[in-house]
């Protein structure tokens, strides 16, 4: 963790360092801190192939915190950014399930299965 904080203090505009530190916060189950770092990362990253992943991770953090509306918003963005990613659709389905929107949950999880089989 100290290495990431040092990297950020040297270059506070490096979105990848915030993303990486967010990953560590997830392992520590510190979802609020992870969300903060992912939010910074989204604004700083130029690599759209990674931005979809950050939305996915932040959406999962919101789901762990039971903030399902925000989780669904982020996971929708991940699915829109990379519409062939089974993991994003699976995670979105789980958030709909936790939000008790069973029709949407079934649709998104079915899409994840379809993409995974393809």
Domain ranges in the chain? 2-117
pLDDT confidence tier of residue 11, bands split at 50, 70 and 90 = low
Angle at 83 between CA 99 and CA 63, to 5 degrees: 25
pLDDT confidence tier of residue 89, bands split at 50, 70 and 90 = very high
Write the CATH number of the domain with boundaries 2-117.
Answer: 1.25.40.10
Give the closest residue to 88 by CA, choosing from 116, 118, 46: 116
Residue 90: strand, helix, or coil: helix
Spatial CB neighbours of 53, under 8 Å, sequence gap ≥ 6: 19, 78
Tens digits of residue pLDDT in 57-73 = 999 999 999 999 999 99
The stretch 5-20 carries a mean pLDDT of 74
């Amino acid at each position: 963790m100290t290495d990431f904080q040092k990297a950020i203090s040297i270059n506070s505009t490096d979105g990848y360092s915030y993303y990486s530190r967010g990953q560590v916060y997830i392992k520590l189950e510190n979802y609020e801190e992870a969300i903060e770092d992912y939010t910074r990362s989204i604004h700083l990253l130029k690599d759209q192939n990674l931005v979809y992943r950050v939305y996915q991770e932040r959406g999962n953090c919101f789901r762990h915190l039971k903030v399902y509306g925000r989780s669904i918003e982020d996971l929708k963005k991940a699915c829109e950014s990379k519409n062939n990613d089974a993991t994003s659709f699976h995670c979105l389905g789980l958030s709909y399930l936790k939000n008790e929107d069973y029709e949407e949950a079934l649709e998104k999880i079915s899409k994840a299965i379809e993409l995974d089989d393809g």
